[in-house]
Amino acid sequence: MIIIPLIILIIPLIASIFYKNIKNSSAIGAIIEIFMLIPLYLLNPYRGFFYIDTVTFIFVLMVSSIYLLSVLYSRKYVRDIKNRGISENMYYLLMNFFYVAMEFALMVNNYGFMWVGIETTTISSALLLITEKSDTSLEATWRYIIIVSAGVTFAFISVILIYYSFGTLTVTTILAEKISNTLTVRLAVGIALVGFGTKVGIFPVHTWLPDAHSEGPAPVSAMFSGVLLPTALYVLYRIYEIFPMRMIFVWAGTVSVLFAAIFLSYQHNYKRMFAYSTMENMNIALIGMGTGTEIGLIGSLLLLLSHSFGKAGAFYTAGDILHISGTKEINAISGFIENKRISASLLLSSFAVTGTPPYGTFFGEFLILYSVLSIHFYAQFIIIVFSLFIAFVSINLNVSRMIFRGKYEYNKSSGSIISLISGIISIATGIIFLVVINAIL
């Protein structure tokens, strides 16, 4: 049944054919993509040219949902942008290509093509960042292109080494092999950590991340943070599966989480603040996958799923706030409690991304921390808990200052409903998880 993944890849391309009317056709295509998830779920597990299992399915679910939300949110947002770097139709076209590249990287059963997919996401998404054109956004775009391309190029060495060791690049064949503890394989996995880690946001190769997130338009930032980074993480996980190098992966994640928390403590731009929060969450997910335990993996998937909705909501809200107030400075914003919808969605999503109890992120982090303890990584455990605490305090303190302090002195336009929906889905994932886990227990 190779046809189902193919249809998923082709629908956005078909939608792009109606270039004159691409705004509507993309939205319709995105809705069909959501319905295509049902046959994809029934197809699971599938091994052929594409490789679909539960992990893949959850990532595909994430990508299609955020894509739908972003396309819907863009309708108003992109229309209102004053100085566009690219035309509105071009924006949707690139968005569709970007989405197809991500889906391709997720579903394909070949490390080489995964690499191609990741590289294509960079190329297709780069110009999306200059939708709101300014000197700063051009600089951020350039940094994004050059740093990520350099990093992903490094990951190509890893692909070459995998081919060298196994004589094939097919994921399922390689994962079925028993002999994998050779130096070349370890080297390949280590290089992949640095290479694809550039895109995941591992310290110290994360530097493009806050720039791109803060300068891109809100729906694109949401796509980046919610699904692009997890896609790169998925590819990294597939390579990790060849030979689990627990120690290196968990330490890389731990150090990155610590630095993300430190960076979070002195941010004055709310979009950059959410960007660093993404870095923190991605690295916690990396730790969960890096522990190599099943509970860690479940925790990571739950964290990523919930985080993608929460962070998408956060960036949509940030876009609304930027539209209303015209500034990205946290200190210049005050009294958003007057604006009910925006303040509600801001609070919902900021709680989501910091891992407050009823959200999926909380249960995800809980499971990951549990798995870190279960493999006796105590030092890492302490550092992670400490960093999570700093991150929680910094983000929520800044958000509550934006909402509760001072007077509201902007126009009364209420924000988009989509950001609220996104935040609510994030909370729902946690509750559904609780219900499911109770039913199992």
Can you give the binding site for other proteins, defined by CB under 8 A? 112, 115-116, 119, 123, 126-127, 130, 133, 135-136, 138-143, 145-146, 149-150, 153-154, 156-157, 159-161, 163-164, 169, 183-184, 187, 210-211, 214-215, 263, 266-269, 272
* Min CB(82)–other proteins separation in Å: 17
* Min CB(112)–other proteins separation in Å: 4
* Min CB(350)–other proteins separation in Å: 19
* Min CB(74)–other proteins separation in Å: 21
Q: Ramachandran region of residue 90, left (φ > 0), alpha (ψ -120 to 50) or beta?
A: alpha
User: How far is the CA of 254 from the CAs of 13, 148, 288, 323, 377, in angstroms?
Assistant: 39, 21, 11, 36, 11
* Min CB(116)–other proteins separation in Å: 5
Radius of gyration of the chain (CA): 20
Q: Which is nearer to other proteins, 157 or 432 (CB)?
A: 157
Q: Which is nearer to other proteins, 127 or 432 (CB)?
A: 127
State the DSSP H helix or E strand holding residue 183, giving kind and residue range, or none if neither: helix 183-200
Question: Token pair for residue 282?
Answer: 């991605």
* Min CB(40)–other proteins separation in Å: 26
Q: Which is nearer to other proteins, 85 or 360 (CB)?
A: 85
Alpha-carbon distance of 229 to 426, in angstroms, equals: 18
Q: Which is nearer to other proteins, 105 or 342 (CB)?
A: 105
Q: Which is nearer to other proteins, 143 or 246 (CB)?
A: 143
Q: Which is nearer to other proteins, 297 or 321 (CB)?
A: 321
* Min CB(229)–other proteins separation in Å: 19
SS3 (DSSP) at 5: helix
CB atoms within 10 A of CB 58: 19
Question: Token pair for residue 25?
Answer: 């056709």
* Min CB(113)–other proteins separation in Å: 8
User: How far is the CA of 62 from the CAs of 35, 37, 172, 300, in angstroms?
Assistant: 13, 10, 23, 13
SS3 (DSSP) at 407: coil
CB atoms within 10 A of CB 394: 21
User: How far is the CA of 192 from the CAs of 70, 168, 241, 384, 390, in angstroms?
Assistant: 29, 17, 12, 23, 29
Which residues are paired to 51 by β-bridges?
Answer: 47
* Min CB(145)–other proteins separation in Å: 6
SS3 (DSSP) at 63: helix
CB atoms within 10 A of CB 429: 24
Q: Which is nearer to other proteins, 115 or 316 (CB)?
A: 115
* Min CB(206)–other proteins separation in Å: 13
Q: Which is nearer to other proteins, 115 or 362 (CB)?
A: 115
Q: Which is nearer to other proteins, 181 or 411 (CB)?
A: 181
Alpha-carbon distance of 102 to 285, in angstroms, equals: 18
Check if the beta carbon of residue 57 is closer than 8 Å to that of residue 41. yes
Q: Which is nearer to other proteins, 214 or 308 (CB)?
A: 214
Alpha-carbon distance of 412 to 4, in angstroms, equals: 46
Number of H helices, E strands in the chain: 18, 2
Q: Which is nearer to other proteins, 94 or 301 (CB)?
A: 94
Check if the beta carbon of residue 48 is closer than 8 Å to that of residue 2. yes
